[in-house]
Each structure stands twice: as C-alpha cells, then as structure tokens.
Amino acid sequence: MLEMLQMGKYGAYVWSSYGLALLIMGYVAIKPLMDKKTIVKELMMKYRREEHHLANVQQENKQEQS
C-alpha cells in the first residue's frame, strides 16, 4: 500500500499536483457559493431599509394629514 502511494520516486510530484488541483478547483467552486451568501445578505439589508423608509414616509404623510 505504502509503495503504491510513493509512486516510485515520483510520489511528491504526483501528489502535489493532485493536491494543488484540489485546492485551486475547490477554491474556484466554493468562492461563488460564499459570494452568493453575501449578495443575499446585502440585498436583504437593502430591501429592509427600503421598506423601513417607505413605512416612515407613509407615517409622516398620515401625521401631516391629521
């Protein structure tokens, strides 16, 4: 088993290649998934702010009328 992992004298080269591939491709795949969370969070805050603002304006209008 160990012999198989050592790949003759090339173990370090082969495993570092596969490891780097995993690292790079993993990062490229996970980054946009995390980006999505921040986008959703940002938009949520924005919508809340807008709703809040809208509610405030409506209240002010009412007060002015009365």
Q: Rule CB under 8 A: is residue 18 a binding residue for another protein? A: yes
For another protein (CB under 8 A), the number of binding residues is: 28
> With 0-12 CB in 10 A as exposed, 13-18 as middle and 19+ as buried, what is 40?
exposed
Site string for another protein, 27-46 (x = CB under 8 A): -xx--xx-xx--xxx-xx-x
To another protein, the closest distance from the beta carbon of 63 in angstroms equals 28
Q: CA torsion angle for 41, 45, 46, 47 (degrees, to 10)?
A: 100
Rounded-to-integer distance, Cα 2 and Cα 12, Å: 13
Q: Rule CB under 8 A: is residue 55 a binding residue for another protein? A: no
Q: Rule CB under 8 A: is residue 57 a binding residue for another protein? A: no
